[in-house]
């Protein structure tokens, strides 16, 4: 039994044949792939965000050099599920990078507390933000706050949308979880292009 298993392992094809790596001077705080697999976003505790651009033959040149976002810590970075928008949280603000245009949007989303989590609604440009002050913000495709959800004073640490985008769940730092039914506007459910959001 042991010998047969060892032989099988020896003849099986390797699942991983190479490795690519890099490093920051500070701890890595977030990793996120774009929906099309073209970009890998890497955020650090030093306030830097790095984008690796992948081609058909492997990793090519970086989309841009590490960029400081005027904050000592990047708390979260997440891609739009069906688009090319990247949301990055630094302190109490959120910045947006458009993969289609390959540039940062000029404006920033300012929140009342430090950002703990970000989540785009599936198939939508609606962005949920969770803050340390105990609020969840719902932002539309042009960066306007649509609604603030109260968590009774406790900060939120994590967010998750149901796959159809009709429910948003949030987990609090004191062990309590919350679930909100969300009525997404039809235009939000149908908007899937990264370039169309936050214009």
In this prediction, residue 181 carries a pLDDT of: 94
In this prediction, residue 64 carries a pLDDT of: 52
**Reported confidence tier of residue 10, pLDDT bands at 50, 70, 90:** low
**Structure confidence by residue, pLDDT tens digits, 100-146:** 787 787 778 888 888 888 999 998 889 999 888 888 999 886 778 89
**Reported confidence tier of residue 157, pLDDT bands at 50, 70, 90:** confident
Q: Looking at the DSSP assignment, which residues form a beta bridge with residue 167?
A: 181
CA dihedral 61, 62, 64, 65 (to 10 degrees): -100
In this prediction, residue 6 carries a pLDDT of: 43
CATH of the domain spanning 25-196, picked from 3.90.1110.10, 2.130.10.10, 1.20.210.10, 1.20.140.10 = 2.130.10.10
In this prediction, residue 199 carries a pLDDT of: 35
**Spans of all domains in the chain:** 25-196
**Reported confidence tier of residue 169, pLDDT bands at 50, 70, 90:** very high
**Structure confidence by residue, pLDDT tens digits, 47-85:** 777 888 776 555 554 555 555 565 556 778 888 888 888
**Structure confidence by residue, pLDDT tens digits, 26-45:** 788 888 888 888 888 888 77
Q: Which residue has the tokens 């959800």?
A: 149
């Amino acid at each position: 039994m042991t010998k047969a298993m060892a032989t099988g392992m020896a003849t099986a094809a390797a699942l991983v044949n190479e490795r690519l790596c890099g490093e920051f001077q500070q701890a890595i705080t977030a990793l996120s792939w774009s929906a099309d697999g073209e970009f890998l976003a890497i955020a650090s505790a030093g306030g830097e965000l790095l984008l690796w651009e992948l081609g058909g033959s492997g990793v090519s040149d970086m989309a841009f050099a590490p960029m400081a976002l005027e904050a000592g810590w990047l708390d979260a970075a997440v891609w739009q599920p069906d688009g090319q928008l990247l949301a990055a949280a630094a302190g109490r603000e959120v910045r947006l990078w458009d993969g289609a245009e390959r540039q940062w949007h000029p404006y920033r989303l300012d929140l009342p507390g430090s950002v703990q989590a970000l989540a785009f609604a599936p198939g939508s440009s609606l962005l949920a933000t969770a803050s340390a002050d105990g609020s969840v913000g719902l932002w539309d495709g042009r960066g306007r706050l649509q609604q603030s959800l109260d968590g009774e004073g406790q900060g939120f640490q994590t967010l998750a949308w149901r796959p159809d985008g009709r429910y948003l769940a949030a987990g609090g730092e004191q062990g309590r979880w919350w679930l909100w039914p969300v009525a997404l506007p039809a235009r939000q459910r149908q908007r899937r292009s990264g370039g169309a959001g936050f214009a």
